[in-house]
């Protein structure tokens, strides 16, 4: 089995916006693979979903009423 190591795609300063509520999690992969998820159990999908739910919560929305 061949394992490919992918280093950080962009420099840290370009990857953050500096907001105190910013979620600075990492999704491993290149620009293509980090936005495609095979299932809802994919760790990257869960991280993105959690971040969206937190944003909605901060805006006063109920994430459980949002369609996925």
pTM above 0.75, yes or no: no
- Answer yes or no: are the C-beta atoms of 38 and 31 closer than 8 Å: no
Tens digits of residue pLDDT in 29-61? 777 777 888 999 998 899 889 988 988 888 886
Q: What is the pLDDT of residue 29?
A: 77
Q: 3-state class of 35 per DSSP? A: helix
Alpha helices in the chain (DSSP H): 12-15, 43-58
Q: What is the pLDDT of residue 41?
A: 95
């Amino acid at each position: 089995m061949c394992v490919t190591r992918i280093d950080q795609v962009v420099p840290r300063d370009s990857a953050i916006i500096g907001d105190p509520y910013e979620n600075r999690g990492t999704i491993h992969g290149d620009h293509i693979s980090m936005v495609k998820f095979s299932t809802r159990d994919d760790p990257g999908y869960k991280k993105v979903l959690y971040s969206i739910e937190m944003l909605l919560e901060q805006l006063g929305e109920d994430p459980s009423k949002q369609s996925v």
